[in-house]
A = this chain, B = another copy of it.
Amino acid sequence: MSAYEDLAQRFRRTGAIGGAMAVLEWDRSAMMPEGGSDARTEQVATLSVIQHELMTDPRLAELLNEAERASGVLDTWRRANLREMRRVWRHANALPADLVEARSRAAAACEMVWRRARANDDFKSFIPSFTEVLRLTREVAAAKAEAFGLAPYDALVQEYEPGASAASFDVIFDDLAAFLPGFLAEALEHQAARPAAIVPQGPFPVAAQRELGLKFMTALGFDFHHGRLDVSLHPFTGGVPQDVRITTRYREDDFTGALMGVLHETGHALYEMGLPAEWSGQPVGEARGMVMHESQSLLVEMQVCRGLSFIRYAAPHLRAAFGGEGPAWTEDNLARLYKRVRPGLIRVDADEVCYPAHVILRYRLERALLAGDLGIADLPGTWRDGMKELLGVTVPTDRDGCLQDIHWPSGSFGYFPTYTLGALTAAQLFAAARTQDAAIVPGIEQGDFSHLLRWLRANVHSLGCEMATDDLVRRATGAPLGTAAFKKHLRERYLGKS
């Protein structure tokens, strides 16, 4: 057995353990009774320790060296797989085991404190445990910076988006920060000059919402032989590519939230389902990174399903599902409804015009926190100033301010930028897709998503992480990732300019 083959066998094992953990985590959110929590934590922690032991086995390091020396004999995909193995290995081996454990314990403890602090709007109670998380995050960043030869923040970013950096974010965010405030004002003016969207009145039975979600999922190409739709408090996509589990949550007084949630997660799911089956269980068979993943959910939700072509297809199904009639249920009104621009406090409720401002604020603050340029005690005030400046809104409470997201309490620094880079990538990919296959848009209008799916399969899904995100975007769209397609999309949708 060659070193490469030995490695492939070892990574297949850690891949299977990772798959088991993914199913257990899905179960925890979608099925598990509360009292099963301790047992589940023990199961997942045990598997995670075993995975870490396998990944830090000294023999693995030897095999990687051996295989890299002999990599000339490997084909492109195997070479890419070896590169990804090294990347995964580097992350696992950059940190001493006790730091990994300390970080995960501190994050778990801080998450608990955060839940209470957010509920009680009590930032002060959050400070001590968040101070500890930030201290350990800095240690992690320093260790990874040292191991990877990168700046500390950039080292953390690698956990979510390999190859990205603050420098690459800055170019994009500076551009958007200059563009968006003016654009937002224009879009609001344009909106105000037109009839206000009428919100359809419920109740909307959960069973009907679910049926509708299943119908659209099927139309989009979700394969129920390899996946499920369930309910959880926070919607997500879990499981493994052969068995993708998506979730949503229902409210009887509003169907749009659950439905758009389902469509968003369906975008994630289609990516997972389309990953190269022959590389299943190997690092190169996984999704490229969080930017590409988010691009797939936003392409489906924002680019496709909030657009007029989809609404033309969907409107009769919506009316039939809920017995809707009258002005609230026309295509025009639904289109207005699905593109309402409303600057607000909460990131997850934000429309696509305002969303980047939420991300830019967090990006600036998390860099300042990590660098020590911003003290935790000053976070709430700086947050308020930022929201005023970027979106013109006044933040009344920390609950709806700097305490709203789980990312920082759980130790995720460097994740937020991927949301907006995903949105830009979605716009650029969809623009390229429409140009390359003229059947895509007419298809959407008739509920035939096969052309769209075929393009995504060929240009994104089936590539796994054989190439870097930048190369993938360039290959699919003919240009590096930029803001032009996103801006064009915003102008078309929100100003009616083409």
Contact = CB atoms under 8 A, between A and B. Distances in A.
Interface in A256-287: 280-281
A40 interface: yes
Interface in A20-50: 20, 23-24, 27, 31-36, 38-40, 42-47, 50
Contact of A35 (B27, B39, B43, B243): B243
A224 interface: yes
Interface stretch (A11-19, A191-199, A335-343, A380-388): A11-19
Contacts of A240: 36, 39
A157 B242 CA distance: 38
Given A47-B20, A242-B39, A34 B280 contact: no
B19 A39 contact: yes
A20 B40 CA distance: 8
A239 B315 CA distance: 43
B33 A31 contact: no
Interface string A472-484: 0000000000000
B16 A243 contact: no
Question: How many copies of this chain?
Answer: 2
Given A17-B46, A43-B20, A38 B242 contact: yes
A13 B53 CA distance: 13
A473 B16 CA distance: 42
Interface stretch (A134-142, A225-233, A391-399, A436-444): A225-233
A192 B49 CA distance: 64
A68 interface: no
A351 interface: no
Interface string A204-241: 00000000000000000001111110000000000111
Contacts of A243: 32-33, 35-36, 39-40
Interface size class of A (residues with CB under 8 A): 35 or more
Interface in A385-427: none
Nearest to A21: B20
Contacts of A45: 16
A459 to B, nearest CB: 24
B27 A43 contact: no
List of 5 A-B pairs having minimum Cβ-Cβ separation, nearest first: A36-B243, A35-B226, A16-B46, A35-B225, A39-B242
Given A17-B50, A33-B225, A47-B47, 11 more contacts: A17-B46, A20-B47, A23-B27, A31-B31, A31-B228, A33-B228, A35-B226, A36-B242, A38-B242, A42-B281, A50-B50
10 contacts: A19-B42, A19-B43, A20-B47, A23-B40, A31-B228, A33-B224, A33-B228, A35-B223, A39-B241, A50-B50
A466 B204 CA distance: 54
A231 to B, nearest CB: 13
A225 B33 CA distance: 5
Nearest to A30: B31
A281 to B, nearest CB: 7
A16 B44 CA distance: 8
Nearest to A49: B13
A205 to B, nearest CB: 14
A281 B46 CA distance: 12
A31 B245 CA distance: 10
A436 B184 CA distance: 78
Contacts of A13: 46
A125 to B, nearest CB: 27
